[in-house]
Amino acid sequence: MNVITTPADLRLCAQEAHAKGQTIALVPTMGYFHAGHEDLIRHGRSIADLLIVSLFVNPTQFGPAEDLDRYPRDHERDSQIAKNLGCDVLFMPDPPDMYPKDFATWVEVPSMSKLLCGAARPIHFRGVCTVLTKLFNLSAADFAVFGEKDWQQQAIVKRMVKDLNIPINIQTRPTVRESDGLALSSRNVYLSKEERLQAPNIYAGLKWAQNLVSQGERNVEIIRSGLLNRWASQIPLGRLDYLTVVDPASLTPISTIEGPAVMACAIRLGTTRLIDNIMLNA
Ligand code: PAF
């Protein structure tokens, strides 16, 4: 595995691969790998000749009061995992190389970035779109792989790629979960014992809502208030950030379920903010 740290070297490596007729897959990550990342990396490995994994805790997607400094990091362990999974190139740039002093450009999809997670994290998706545009350009990847746990992120990335004619195919993978249903997240390590015990009720509640829809309920407000009642007793340590039903592609809020709809939520348990979602197929 080749470890590359500068944008110029990544560009050169991608140009050489394309010159040889190779296809390139990019798996963008912020590291601290868990089984969810491993699934993305395995998928990336299976769809292209050259697999690039980027590991960059992107400062521009963290708000001033967020966990940039304490975001969990273990570059040595991550490198070993990436290598074992057949990664060809691990890209680990330093922040000043990605954002030099005179950096002045932002990429944003405002209509999709201000709701759901964007309401509490107003600059988050601008940072995500900007760093991904840079990574897509530098890697010249034919494919990029994202997890569906962050439903909003993958929907925004698909829209950005379409709107800006970026020649890359965005592929998504289902959320990987603990055996009790909790969606895997690098931030799960922050949870106290008690919080960790309550956390699986997030997904259990989403499944309960999905079941209600499969039994014929179409009114989002009824489903939503039923779920909030459930969570109030089952996740007493939780503080709701949002629970919303949206169109899976446009993220427009839905009040009556008539077609594809995704229910997405963010809940704070202590200092940890957990997100999850489920498809409510009518
Ligand atoms: O989902 C993530 O880990 C990050 O938002 C991403 C896509 C690597 C961009 O920094």
Residue pLDDT, tens place only, 240-273: 999 999 999 999 999 999 999 999 999 999 999 9
Residue to substitute in 26, 40, 52, 61 for testing ligand 1 pocket (most ligand atoms within 8 angstroms of CB)? 61
The confidence score (pLDDT) of residue 281 equals 82
Residue pLDDT, tens place only, 43-66: 999 999 999 999 999 999 999 999
The confidence score (pLDDT) of residue 248 equals 98
CA of 15 to the centre of ligand 1 (A): 24
Q: Among the atoms of ligand 1, which is closest to the Cα of residue 30?
A: 3
Residue pLDDT, tens place only, 97-110: 999 999 999 999 99
Domains of the chain (ranges, CATH numbers): 2-173 (3.40.50.620), 186-276 (3.30.1300.10)
CA of 30 to the centre of ligand 1 (A): 6
The answer to whether 238 and 274 are in contact (CB under 8 A) is no
Residue pLDDT, tens place only, 166-201: 999 999 999 999 999 999 999 999 999 999 999 999
| Ligand 1, atom 2, residue with closest C-alpha | 29
Query: How much is the average pLDDT of 83-88?
Result: 98
Active site residues: 37
Q: Burial letters for 84-95: b for 16+ Cβ neighbours within 10 Å, e otherwise? A: ebebbbbbbbee
The answer to whether 93 and 49 are in contact (CB under 8 A) is no
Residue to substitute in 41, 58, 152, 158 for testing ligand 1 pocket (most ligand atoms within 8 angstroms of CB)? 58
| Ligand 1, atom 6, residue with closest C-alpha | 29
User: DSSP letter string over 168-230?
Assistant: -EEEEEPPPB-TTSPBP-GGGGG--HHHHHHTHHHHHHHHHHHHHHHTT--BHHHHHHHHHHH
CA of 221 to the centre of ligand 1 (A): 31
- Confidence at 282, pLDDT banded by 50, 70, 90: low
Q: Among the atoms of ligand 1, which is closest to the Cα of residue 58?
A: 10
Q: How far from 56 is each of 8, 82, 224, 275, CA to CA, in Å?
A: 16, 14, 36, 21
List pocket residues of ligand 1, CB cut-off 6 Å. 28-30, 58, 61, 128, 131-132, 150, 153
CA of 195 to the centre of ligand 1 (A): 25
Residue pLDDT, tens place only, 63-79: 999 999 999 999 999 99
Share of the chain above pLDDT 90, in %: 99
Query: How much is the average pLDDT of 270-279?
Result: 97
